[in-house]
């Protein structure tokens, strides 16, 4: 256990002591279901320990284990450990000089790699020639002062073929959360686009993250991945790999229509639009938003109508009680955010509610609590879901006022072509409003529903999609 982890556990225990009694060395410990606390894994990595569902004991330390994809599946590697997945010398790895062993012309950066920063911040990038996994190279980003913008190392763009799946992975050590962004530069006109595809967590030991993504047939993409730092702190990365991977199709293409926050338009007129076409939607509600004085969100009467409609197939999920950033809350408040909304939903007769993270914000601890309380969790990361998808890292196409209709229709085509599952995430629907970035125009919404009415993909709720995927041969992790 590092000193920092030790301090955080100690502070956590002091907070807990007042609430529950933090007698973590006693064998007869009791705890509150849903609560999690830090614990030490063998080798010094920090893990997370949830309370048993019946409150009788703390369960074993989680997050220390061997798998390598997502939160709660940590690969902890000391020097000399294995790498898993593609390595820097893997012939399938598309990243040039992934081993970071060849110096560039300036000799302060590896060949094919560039350090870049933008915004009001102070940041520096360092090439550590032997500071990486197994004594290989690593790249360090250190942001000493952050106002806005970000800093990152990135590899020279590589041309990716369309209609193909790829996996990006790397190992990292850091003191906070970092984002992974797929940047595509169009070969035809040089226009650059960005997609938030995943994130990494604080980790004192080397930890591997992997994310799969699909590029449609029309993709004209010279790609690089920004594993970036947009906060004060550091990130080191090593053994980056970008490789084509096999598709993991579902038995049939699926599309889900998700609506966050309980906007009035979503639960009234948009719901009517769905029902007109025989569709059902997934509505993620926030207790404290219902009946707001401004009338932007569902009224009590709208809620009653939605509850009645849910008996005909619509899904109601949780979006927490007060819509706070879950990753920024203390453990007791975080737990309250989740449980209070769940209790409220149960009081309305809604059981087994899935979770949509407010602002898409989560971290390891939030992920463990989500697993303890909810049958699934939906992120706001951009991507298609396939048979390899973890039900606690469901991805979406976030639709905002800036999303082009053609982009949504192309993504539906992608899901149909690849037999995968697309979750379209909406908020407010109505006449365009420049002041409301979360409003989807009725025209666009209608165009999407009309496309779906052609029947190439089954329109099902998120819960129904997970049930269907779970029943297939390739289990959802």
Residue closer to Zn ion by CB (options 157, 324) is 324
Residue closest to 289 by CA, chosen among 299, 280, 281: 299
* Residue 435 zone, left/alpha/beta (φ > 0; ψ -120 to 50; rest): alpha
Residues 279-338 binding Zn ion (CB under 5 A) are: none
Which residue is listed with tokens 């010094």? 44
**Integer CA distances (angstroms), 187 to 84, 190, 223, 403, 419, in order:** 33, 6, 10, 21, 28
Residues 126-185 binding Zn ion (CB under 5 A) are: none
183 alpha carbon, distance to own chain's centre: 17
Residue closer to Zn ion by CB (options 210, 337) is 337
Q: Residues in contact with Zn ion, total (CB under 5 A)? A: 3
Please tell me the distance from the alpha carbon of residue 460 to that of residue 281, in angstroms, as a whole number: 7
Residue closer to Zn ion by CB (options 245, 350) is 350
Residue nearest to Zn ion (CB): 260
Work out the angle at residue 221's Cα, subtended by the Cα atoms of residues 390 and 196, and round it to the nearest 5 degrees. Answer: 40
Please tell me the distance from the alpha carbon of residue 153 to that of residue 188, in angstroms, as a whole number: 25
Residue closer to Zn ion by CB (options 72, 358) is 358
The verdict on 260 binding Zn ion (CB under 5 A) reads yes
Contacts of 198 (CB under 8 A, 6+ apart): 179, 180, 209, 211, 381
The verdict on 273 binding Zn ion (CB under 5 A) reads no
The verdict on 261 binding Zn ion (CB under 5 A) reads yes
Minimum distance from CB of 261 to Zn ion (Å)?
4
Residue closer to Zn ion by CB (options 150, 260) is 260
The verdict on 363 binding Zn ion (CB under 5 A) reads no
Residue closer to Zn ion by CB (options 214, 284) is 284
Minimum distance from CB of 268 to Zn ion (Å)?
18
Minimum distance from CB of 449 to Zn ion (Å)?
22
The encoded tokens of residue 266 equal 């979503």
Minimum distance from CB of 289 to Zn ion (Å)?
9
The verdict on 382 binding Zn ion (CB under 5 A) reads no
Letters for 44-63 (x = contact with Zn ion by CB under 5 A, - = none) are --------------------
Residue closer to Zn ion by CB (options 212, 271) is 271
Render 247-286 in DSSP notation, one character per residue.
----SS-EEEEEEETTBHHIIIIIHHHHHHTT---EEEE-
Residue closest to 368 by CA, chosen among 58, 14, 155, 10: 58
Residues 330-359 binding Zn ion (CB under 5 A) are: 358
Minimum distance from CB of 259 to Zn ion (Å)?
10
Minimum distance from CB of 398 to Zn ion (Å)?
11
**Integer CA distances (angstroms), 340 to 291, 328, 396, in order:** 17, 17, 26
**Integer CA distances (angstroms), 454 to 34, 97, 149, 216, in order:** 43, 47, 42, 20
Residue closer to Zn ion by CB (options 46, 260) is 260
Q: Which residues bind Zn ion (CB under 5 A)?
A: 260-261, 358
């Amino acid at each position: 256990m590092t000193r920092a982890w030790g301090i955080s556990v100690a502070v956590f225990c002091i907070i807990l002591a007042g609430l529950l009694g933090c007698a973590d060395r006693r064998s007869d410990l009791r705890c509150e279901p849903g609560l999690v606390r830090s614990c030490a894994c063998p080798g010094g990595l920090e893990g997370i320990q949830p309370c048993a569902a019946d409150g009788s004991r703390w369960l074993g330390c989680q997050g220390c284990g061997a798998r390598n994809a997502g939160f709660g599946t940590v690969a902890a590697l000391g020097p000399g450990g294995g790498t898993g997945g593609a390595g820097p010398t893997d012939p399938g790895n598309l990243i040039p000089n992934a081993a970071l062993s060849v110096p560039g012309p300036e000799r302060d950066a590896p060949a094919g790699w560039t350090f870049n920063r933008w915004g009001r911040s102070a940041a520096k990038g360092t090439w550590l020639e032997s500071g990486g996994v197994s004594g290989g190279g690593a790249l360090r980003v250190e942001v000493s002062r952050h106002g806005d913008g970000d800093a990152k190392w990135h590899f020279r763009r590589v041309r990716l073929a369309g209609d193909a799946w790829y996996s990006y992975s790397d190992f990292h050590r850091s003191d906070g959360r970092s984002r992974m962004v797929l940047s595509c530069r169009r070969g035809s006109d040089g226009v650059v686009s960005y997609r938030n595809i995943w994130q990494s967590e604080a980790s004192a030991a080397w930890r591997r993250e992997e994310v799969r993504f699909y590029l449609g047939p029309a993709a004209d993409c010279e790609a690089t991945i920004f594993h970036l730092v947009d906060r004060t702190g550091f990130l080191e990365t090593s053994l980056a790999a970008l490789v084509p991977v096999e598709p993991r199709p579902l038995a049939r293409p699926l599309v889900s229509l998700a609506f966050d926050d309980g906007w009035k338009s979503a639960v009234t007129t948009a719901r009517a639009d769905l029902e007109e076409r025989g569709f059902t939607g997934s509505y993620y509600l926030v207790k404290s938003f219902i009946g707001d004085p401004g009338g932007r969100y569902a009224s009590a009467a709208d809620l009653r109508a939605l509850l009645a409609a849910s008996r005909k197939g619509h899904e109601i999920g949780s979006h927490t009680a007060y819509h706070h950033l879950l990753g920024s809350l203390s453990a007791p408040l975080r737990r309250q955010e989740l449980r209070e909304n769940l209790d409220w939903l149960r009081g309305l007769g809604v059981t087994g509610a899935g979770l949509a993270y407010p602002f898409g914000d989560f971290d390891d601890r939030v992920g463990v609590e989500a697993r303890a309380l909810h049958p699934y969790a939906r992120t706001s990361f951009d991507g298609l879901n396939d048979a390899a998808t973890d039900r606690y890292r469901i991805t979406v196409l976030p639709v905002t006022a800036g999303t082009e209709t053609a982009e949504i229709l192309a993504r539906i085509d992608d899901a149909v072509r690849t037999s995968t599952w697309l979750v379209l995430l909406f908020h407010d629907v109505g006449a365009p409003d420049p002041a409301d970035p979360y409003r989807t125009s009725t025209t666009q919404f209608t165009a999407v529903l009309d496309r779906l009415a052609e029947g190439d993909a089954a329109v099902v709720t998120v819960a129904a999609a997970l049930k269907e995927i779970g029943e297939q041969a390739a289990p959802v992790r």
